[in-house]
Structure 1
Amino acid sequence: MQPSIIEMIYSQRQEIIDRWKEEIRHFSDNEFTRSLPAEVYNETNVEFVRLIIDTLELEQSEAKEKLRQFAERFINTGWPLSYFTQGMQAFRRVLLETMTSQETINSKKVFETFYEVESWIDGIINQLVDEYSGSWENTLHLQKLALKELSAPLIPVFEKISVMPLIGTIDTERAKLIMENLLEGIIEHRSQVVLIDITGVPVVDTMVAHHIIQASEAVRLVGAECILVGIRPEIAQTIVNLGIDLGKFPTRSTLRKGIETGLELTQRKIVNISSDDFR
């Protein structure tokens, strides 16, 4: 961009910011912005418009990185794309009005200057749109992975004995799904013993333990017995350190030991048969 235009923008910086803040009031009255504290909203406006102006003095790669960091931060906090695109359109109007009112533009270069401003603003808008598009694509990808992770089937392994293997993190939403699948599966398979296998759960904290306890109590309410298996040493230590009480139902270190306990609870057991028994 022409040095004279950059100089004008910086010399009129505060006026441009003030006029821009006044301009965006026309589209800022929506459900999202109304939910924000006034201080946060105003600080974001100032940060956004200052970042736009500062990109003029940055190298292209550095400007893109600054915009990427800004967009990523506000995408994650729920700011709508429309706020930024409308904000950029408002900034374009304010900037062109300021330049023409100051008679900064040489009449012979008016179209050239407007083209430079348009290219600059459009470049920022395009990057913001790309950042939002990439964020949504990543979100959809993570959601697909989460759906696979959330699947918690109750698998019948013996008559009256079923296993629910859990893999990955457990939050409130997933705990609800686990509970539903658990109770429906018990009725469907007529299970008397259910083994909840947490071998694949990386972290067991107070919340996870609470969900597991709730699940075991629900199992008892429908007339079945719950056994927690897959208690690794580090998980056992964490449970003890947190003071979590898992004494209401049996626990076993491995799935095999859990199945053996389940067989005992259903009056069965695994026995070794020698070759002589087949003679």
Structure 2
Amino acid sequence: MKSKNSALYQHFMKRSSHITDEWLSNTPIQQSGLSTAKQYKEFVQAVINILTEKKPQKEWKAALECARKLARDKAVIQAPIHESLKGFKIFRRIFMDEIETFSNESAHDISKKEAFEWSKRLNLMLDEFIEQFMDEYDRTTIRQLHAQKEMIRELSAPVIPISNHIGVLPLIGEIDTNRAKVILESALEQCAELHLTHLFIDISGVPIVDTMVAYQLFRVVDSTRLLGIETIISGIRPEIAQTVVKIGIDFSNIKTEQSLAVALSKKGFRIWEGDVSVQNDKNMV
């Protein structure tokens, strides 16, 4: 069997470039843009070595890492997983055809049992590679989702410093329970990092202020107060004020202003044609 493995190895080595080219030309795997043809050729080489028992342990590790690298590349560009599975299916078919060709044309007397053993080994290998591929694809996708969530988290509640120790938190769009939690946690972190003494929360871009939104605003104000930060809420439109009164929300303990411009001006800021300046007087923060 050892001599037949060597003969099969020689057969595959002569055909390795053709196998790689056929694989790439018949599957969407070539569209990655991140993985190179060299990587696919290395994967083909590793499979050939394992199949014919040429340094199988060393090549097994290399092939698994190659499968994981392909998975990471695919996940980064968000390639559909079914495309990669189709690629492995075609890869399997190409190798099976090569085993059959070798068995039929070899000068060695290849029995059906020996051809079956090679095919069985190939299938077990590819099943493991596919499992590792999908596992790495999932891990990479999850990491990307976490990174995207963190980016969304930062953009959902951006505290904008407008001078030393003074920041503005403009809230725009609807606020649900999840975003409200993000606003509270992110705002507190940013306020601490910026060493703020004053925070202006503008809600003129929030279409609806219900009990939940009001409660979260109270939590932000109370939490920033514990950090020694004075917080002022601006942009409460007339229709929002009416809603607040109707549902019985008490804003009496929170500093509010009609607009951000008014709130800033009362703290020594003056706004001219979109520019913010600070008056040099005793009221300046």
Say whether residues 1:54 and 2:77 are aligned partners: no
For the 8 Å contact 1:20–1:90, the answer to whether it is kept is yes
Q: State the shift of 1:46 in Å.
A: 3.2
Cα distance in structure 2, aligned partners of 1:88 and 1:192: 63
Residue type matched to 2:96 in 1? L
Structure 2 spans left out of the alignment, 5+ residues: 50-57, 160-165, 170-186, 191-200, 207-232, 237-254, 268-273
Q: How far, CA to CA, are the matches of 1:131 and 1:147 in structure 2?
A: 24
Letter in 2 for 1:68: R
Q: Does 1:15 align with 2:18?
A: yes
* Unaligned runs of at least 5 residues, structure 1: 155-160, 169-178, 194-218, 229-246, 253-259, 263-279
CA spacing shift, 1:186–1:19, aligned 2, 3 Å: same
Q: 1:231 — aligned with what?
A: none
Paired residue for 1:261? 284
Question: How far does residue 190 in structure 1 lie from its aligned partner after superposition?
Answer: 4.4
Q: Residue 276 of structure 1 corresponds to which residue in structure 2?
A: none
CA shift digits 1:19-75 (9 cap, x unpaired): 334433xxx4xxx98xx6xxx76x957345313213234433333333333432342
Secondary structure of 1:127's counterpart equals helix
Match of 1:96 in 2: 96
Q: Is the 8 A contact 2:234 2:256 kept in 1?
A: yes
Q: Cα–Cα, structure 1 residues 97 and 74, in superposed 2: closer, same or farther, change >3 Å?
A: same
Map of 1:124-143 to 2, 5 A cutoff? 124-143=129-148
Change (3 A) 1:162 1:15: closer
Counterpart CA distance in 1 for 2:118 and 2:276 is: 76
User: In angstroms, what is the RMSD of aligned CA positions?
Assistant: 4.3
2:276 counterpart SS class: coil
Greater mean alpha carbon deviation, residues 61-70 or residues 43-52 = 43-52
Equivalent position to 1:106, from 103, 106, 111: 111
Q: 2:74 touches 2:137 (CA, 8 Å); kept in 1?
A: no
Aligned residues: 183
The one-letter code matched in structure 2 to 1:13 is S
- CA distance in 2 between partners of 1:137 and 1:79 (Å): 14
Task: Give the C-alpha shift of residue 135 in structure 1.
Answer: 1.5
Determine helix, strand or coil for the equivalent of 1:261. coil
- Any conservation in 1 of the 2:67–2:133 contact (CA below 8 Å)? yes
Query: 1:50 & 1:137 partners in 2: Cα distance?
Result: 28
CA distance in 2, matches of 1:11, 1:74: 29
Separation in structure 2 between the aligned mates of residue 50 and residue 145 of structure 1, nearest angstrom: 37
C-alpha distance in 2, partners of 1:125/1:182?
52
2:8 corresponds to 1:5: yes
* Distance across 2 between alignment mates of 1:9 and 1:227: 81
Retained in 1: the 8 A contact 2:71–2:133? yes
Per-residue deviation at 1:225?
Answer: 3.0
Query: Any residues of structure 2 matched to 1:165-184 within 5 Å, and which?
Result: 165=187, 181=203, 183-184=205-206
Amino acid at match of 1:77: I
In the alignment, structure 1 residue 248 sits paired with structure 2 residue 275 = yes
Aligned to 1:191: 257
- Pairing 1:18-33 to 2, within 5 Å after superposition: 18-24=21-27, 28=28
Overall identity of the aligned pairs, in %: 21
